[in-house]
Amino acid sequence: MPSLVGGGSGLARPGAVSLAHRGVLFLDEAPEFSKGALEALRQPLEHGRVQLARSRGGTEYPALTQLVLAANPCPCAKPAGDAYCECSPLARRRYLGRLSGPLLDRIDVQVQLPAVRAAELMAGEGDRESSAAVARRVATARDAAAERWAGLGHRLNGQVPGPDLRRPPWRLPGSDTAELRARLDSGSLSARGFDRVIRLAWTIADLDGRSRPVRDDVLEAIQLRTGDAT
């Protein structure tokens, strides 16, 4: 845990989540980390900083990090239902259960990646969008977000507080958020998740070059967060 969120004897030193401030922290094989270490990421993900307390005082380190978690479906790393999988259903549930609900509630995009097929592996470079093209699209989207939120003192969609997104002029029409509100009322989505879906919908719109999200952007954001078809 100290190497991940900070700590150690004497003066508490910054951990990986602070060393990745304004960058990306990638945790491969996330369920292999201790549950305590993973749960300690909840506060930095929520507040963008790490607070460490010691007997002689406390310290605080920045932690505005884009966290990426990767996990196999089970300990043997075979796809669920695969004929070669050696794990029982209980073992698979326990393995992924190490990623708790409160932690996953702070992860905006949650997707399952299917196994790579031979045709995809052998596809030529011309069949894929280049990293340079993606980078240009992301830069344009970030510029649009920075211009839009400049009056509120923010640069990114992810920095805008939920109450601001739910008030005019930024509140989305009820017809566009009907599915999202239904999921909140049913309890399948938390209030935190509601705001995060709205922020994600704004990002989807920015990447597609639209000035505001539409209903399809909200539905896509719900699917990216939950993995469910809408």
**Tens-digit pLDDT profile for the chain (230 aa)?**
889 998 877 778 899 999 999 999 999 999 999 999 999 999 999 999 998 887 777 889 999 999 999 999 888 887 655 677 888 889 888 998 899 999 999 999 999 888 778 888 887 766 778 899 999 999 999 999 999 999 999 999 999 999 999 999 999 999 999 999 999 999 999 999 999 999 999 999 999 999 999 999 999 999 999 876 54
Q: Quick check: is 122 in a domain?
A: no
Find the domain containing 77 and state its range: 2-107
Q: Quick check: is 102 in a domain?
A: yes
> How many Cβ atoms from other residues are within 10 Å of residue 4's Cβ?
21
Same domain, 86 and 33: yes
Same domain, 8 and 60: yes
Same domain, 90 and 185: no
What's the CATH code of the domain at 32? 3.40.50.300
Q: Which of 108, 109, 100, 102 is nearest to 43 (CA)?
A: 102
Q: In sequence order, which residues have a C-beta less than 8 Å from that of residue 213 and are 6 or more positions away?
A: 172, 176, 198, 201, 202, 204, 205, 221
What's the whole-model pTM score? 0.86
Pairing of strands 24-27, 49-54: unpaired
The tally of domains found in the chain comes to 2
- Residue in the block written with tokens 């963008």: 48
Task: Give the helix ranges, DSSP H, for 187-214.
Answer: 191-207
